[in-house]
Amino acid sequence: MTKSAKLTIGEKVIDLPIHSPTLGPDVLDIRKLYAEADVFTYDPGFTSTAACESTITYIDGDKGELLYRGYPIEQLAERSHYLEVCYLLLYGELPNAAQAADFEYRITRHTMLHEQIHYFFRGFRRDSHPMATMVGVVGAMSAFYHDSLDINDPWQREVAAIRMIAKLPTIAAMAYKYSIGQPFNYPQNHLDYAGNFLHMCFAVPAESYTVNPVLAKAMDRIMMLHADHEQNASTSTVRLAGSSGANPFACIAAGIACLWGPAHGGANQACLEMLREIGTVDRIPEYIRRAKDKDDPFRLMGFGHRVYKNFDPRAKVMKESADDVLGLLGIENNPTLQVAKELERIALEDEYFVSKKLYPNVDFYSGIILDAMGFPTSMFTPIFAISRTVGWISQWKEMIGDPTQKIGRPRQLYKGEKTRDYVDLRHR
Ligand code: SDX
């Protein structure tokens, strides 16, 4: 029996269907509201709005749960690896051995870029932020890969997805190398996905480079934790761009641009810079005070979340990884990690953070690990972008493949001027 809600507006009573999900809250279907009642709903920031139907990722913000195709992130982080998670997000099921081998083969053999794209980097200043370079180069991929632009061809959609997942690490590593004036490294097919990325970032022609398996495993785990996250700002950007029929490379470039913001994917860079600015444990109270001061725009970066009103499950796994990696690197007394742990302890006991349900999010500890690996803070969000590309492209494929899909076109609450006549300059 279909559930519904009755909405009374003046003399009108509108029947609105209610849809029940597999997990999470029911949704009120308002698609016919404007046609029948001549009113819009109003929800800036979409805090109460389901923009689409999806089967990919589920978050329970109160329980601190994150599922990729039903599998808890904790189990995947412990037992899976990034390319297997990519397969799961893209195709909906964990691969068997043959499927996993084929997928890894296809990704590995798409990691190189069209050689001419190397020249594209030369147009940037050396001190360009790697995110600026990535937005440019990923968007420019639509100028090089004409055989995977037709969004109506399922095969071309598949090729575009493989190319994006395979090439983002290469592009991010090139952006990094370019920013430090070192030569690009080509991908190495004998290395796994995370190890290949570390090699492309840190190898130099002057000496041989051996991937540290502990760092490669930590990088792979970071990538798994960031792979997808429901309809977050950058994923919604990719969906909205895709809804106009834009090619997949342009859509992912739009997602990268949105992720860059410090309220979103840029928070990992902002968080580590904040921890460094705090510097020592004794300065934490000053920053806690500023974070609570309504007149001070300062916020604790890496804290709070639109959905999680409990611990971000990714932050828990990341915190364990931070202890592992820094311990193995012999820097467990890293002052930044000490400040982070003390800041977390103090904040979680503070009434302001408790009452507003502000907990550490995925960005709170990730920067500490990446810093320990030798990455500059400017590379933190590019690494988030590499990881999230599979989520973006999976959500994009789901939307494009939906026969009911239409162009996204929100309306507004207009508070501007009523119609008025033009006044010639001589009368103004
Ligand atoms: C990501 O959406 C996703 O899924 C994103 C992400 C993903 O994987 O895609 O999880 C990745 O973006 C994680 C979030 C990274 N951002 C940061 O760490 C930046 C710091 N956090 C804040 O900017 C904020 O918490 C947001 C943007 C994350 C969430 O903002 P909301 O949901 O709009 O929360 P809000 O601004 O309405 O805050 C509620 C209250 C406000 O106080 P009041 O107006 O009610 O008095 O809490 C306060 C805020 O001022 N608050 C904070 C705070 N975050 C919220 N106060 C101090 N420090 C903070 N970090």
Three-class HEC string of the chain: CCEEEEEEECCEEEEEEEECCCCCCCEECCCCHHHHHCCCCCCHHHCCCCCCCCCCEEEECCCCEEEECCEEHHHHHHHCCHHHHHHHHHHCCCCCHHHHHHHHHHHHCCCCCCCCHHHHHCCCCCCCCHHHHHHHHHHHHHHCCHHHCCCCCHHHHHHHHHHHHHHHHHHHHHHHHHHCCCCCCCCCCCCCHHHHHHHHHHCECCECCCCCHHHHHHHHHHHHHCCCCCCCHHHHHHHHHHHCCCCHHHHHHHHHHHHCCCCCCCHHHHHHHHHHHHCCHHHHHHHHHHHHCCCCCCCCCCECCCCCCCCCHHHHHHHHHHHHHHHHCCCCCCHHHHHHHHHHHHHHHCHHHHHCCCCECHHHHHHHHHHHHCCCHHHHHHHHHHHHHHHHHHHHHHHHCCCCCCCCCCCCCCCCCCCCCCCCHHHC
| Tokens standing for residue 270 | 């902002």
Pocket test for ligand 1, best of 67, 357, 361 (most atoms within 8 A of CB): 361
| Residue 296 among the catalytic residues | no
Residue with CA at minimum distance from ligand 1 atom 34? 306
- Closest Cα to atom 30, ligand 1: which residue? 306
Pick the residue with more confidence: 303 or 56?
Answer: 56
Amino acid found at 375: F
> Cα–Cα–Cα angle for 370, 283, 371, nearest 5°?
10
Which residue minimizes the CA distance to atom 16 of ligand 1?
Answer: 263
**Whether residue 305 lies in the annotated active site:** yes
Res 415 pLDDT > 80: yes
Is the CB of 274 within 6 Å of ligand 1?
no
pLDDT at site 131: 97
pLDDT at 324 over 90: no
The response to whether residue 73 sits with its C-beta less than 6 Å from ligand 1 reads no
pLDDT category of residue 30 using cuts at 50, 70 and 90: very high
Question: Contact, 260 vs 266, CB < 8 A?
Answer: yes
303 in contact with ligand 1, CB cutoff 6 A: yes
The predicted pLDDT at position 112 comes to 97
The span from the CA of 211 to the CA of 367, in Å, is 20
Out of 21-30, 134-143, 345-354, which region has the weakest mean confidence (pLDDT)?
Answer: 345-354
pLDDT band at residue 405, thresholds of 50, 70 and 90?
confident
- Count of Cβ atoms closer than 10 Å to residue 99 Cβ: 14
189-235 residue pLDDT tens: 999 999 999 999 999 999 999 999 999 999 999 999 999 999 999 99
The answer to whether the pTM exceeds 0.85 is yes
What tens digit of pLDDT does each residue of 339-361 get? 998 999 988 899 999 999 998 98
Catalytic one among 226, 305, 312, 371? 305
**Cα–Cα distance between 46 and 23 in angstroms, integer?**
19
- Is the pLDDT confidence value at 1 over 80? no
Structural element, H or E, at residue 14: strand 12-19
Average pLDDT, the chain: 95
For the stretch 96-108, pLDDT in tens is 999 999 999 999 9
**Residue that has been written with the tokens 């859509």 in this structure:** 251
